[in-house]
Amino acid sequence: MIGITCGLAIYNSTVVDLHFPLALYKKLLNVKPGLEDLKELSPTEGRSLQELLDYPGEDVEETFCLNFTICRESYGIIEQKKLIPGGDKVTVCRDNRW
């Protein structure tokens, strides 16, 4: 719907004041979005990742029990997405959390 609205606005030479997140413009310009962009789009996930990065302890694996996957709900179905190839088999540790 947003694409249709933008297309109609351009076709009719009308200025529409739409505030898109900075990450969208970065993607359009082939600039890699960062953690700050994630914090803007999804504050909870961004804050959680920042806490993981800031964790001072050596026991990251035991404390967080994470691997490189995320769970997303799509039309009532929960799907597990791998963030890297084989991410379900790679645990997040102190050395690979960056």
Reported as a single tens digit per residue, the pLDDT across 12-45 is 988 888 788 889 889 889 999 999 999 998 899 8
Q: How far apart are CA 55 and CA 74, in angstroms?
A: 31
Rama region for 22: left / alpha / beta (φ>0; ψ in -120 to 50; rest): alpha
Listed by start position, the domains of the chain span 58-97
Band (pLDDT 50/70/90 cuts) for residue 55 is very high
Entry pTM: 0.66
Question: Residue 29 — φ and ψ, nearest 5°?
Answer: -95, 10
Residue 59: which residues within 8 A CB-CB, separation 6 or more?
A: none
Tell me the percentage of the chain whose pLDDT exceeds 70: 100
**Cα–Cα dist 64/54, whole Å:** 13
**Does pLDDT of 96 surpass 90?**
no
